[in-house]
């Protein structure tokens, strides 16, 4: 929502998000270092390089998401947010053979039934809007 309201480009919106969360992150890292549980600059150079690269690898999907979120309606962004947990659920059940309880199945069905109703409503409204615009363009509606 923040990205849409202020119409920021992807780099600036990620910078604001990162600066906001960095205060918490830096505090946490300092606390770990003081308690002797930190990992940066305490093990090997390879570990330090991996930790730095992990920041870049984390930032790239955030940047791409931010770029995409600016270009599509918020309702579509919200709908797409359900795919990641669904994929994790399916990977857990199908690949890692996690137990599939009745509660999980019912929850999954409720969520996706709600999304189906929401999507059907969006499609129906889109058809109504197009029909109205065609009538207006043909002069049947003032």
Q: What is the pLDDT of residues 69-85, one digit of tens each?
A: 778 887 778 777 877 78
Q: Which of 13-27, 49-63, 68-82 has the lowest mean pLDDT?
A: 68-82
pLDDT of residue 99: 92
Distances (CA, A) of 54 to 27, 80, 83: 19, 24, 23
What are the CB-based long-range contacts (under 8 Å, 24+) for 65-68? 66/3, 66/10, 66/13, 66/14, 67/10
Q: What is the pLDDT of residues 85-117, one digit of tens each?
A: 888 888 999 999 999 899 989 988 998 898 888
Tell me the whole-structure pTM to 2 decimals: 0.51
Residue 47, token pair as written in the block: 């570990």
Has residue 4 got a pLDDT over 80? no
Q: Where are the alpha helices (DSSP H) in the chain?
A: 2-6, 10-34, 45-71, 74-80, 83-90, 102-138
Q: Count CB atoms within 10 A of the CB of residue 82.
A: 13
Instruction: Select from 125, 21, 14, 123 the least CA-distant residue to 70.
Output: 14
Has residue 122 got a pLDDT over 80? yes
Higher pLDDT, 8 or 58: 58
pLDDT class of 15 with cuts at 50, 70, 90: confident
DSSP conformation class of 41: T
């Amino acid at each position: 929502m923040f990205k849409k309201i202020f119409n920021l480009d992807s780099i600036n919106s990620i910078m604001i998000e990162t600066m906001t969360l960095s205060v918490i992150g830096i505090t946490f890292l300092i606390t770990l270092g003081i308690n002797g549980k930190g990992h940066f600059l305490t093990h090997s150079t390879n570990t330090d390089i991996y930790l730095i690269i992990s920041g870049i690898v984390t930032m790239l999907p955030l940047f791409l998401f931010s770029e995409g979120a600016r270009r599509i309606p918020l309702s579509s962004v919200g709908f797409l947010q359900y795919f990641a947990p669904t994929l994790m659920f399916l990977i857990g059940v199908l690949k890692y053979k996690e137990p599939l309880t009745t509660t999980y199945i019912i929850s999954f069905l409720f969520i996706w039934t709600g999304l189906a109703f929401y999507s059907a409503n969006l499609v129906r409204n889109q058809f109504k809007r197009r029909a109205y615009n065609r009538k207006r363009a043909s002069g049947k509606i003032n």
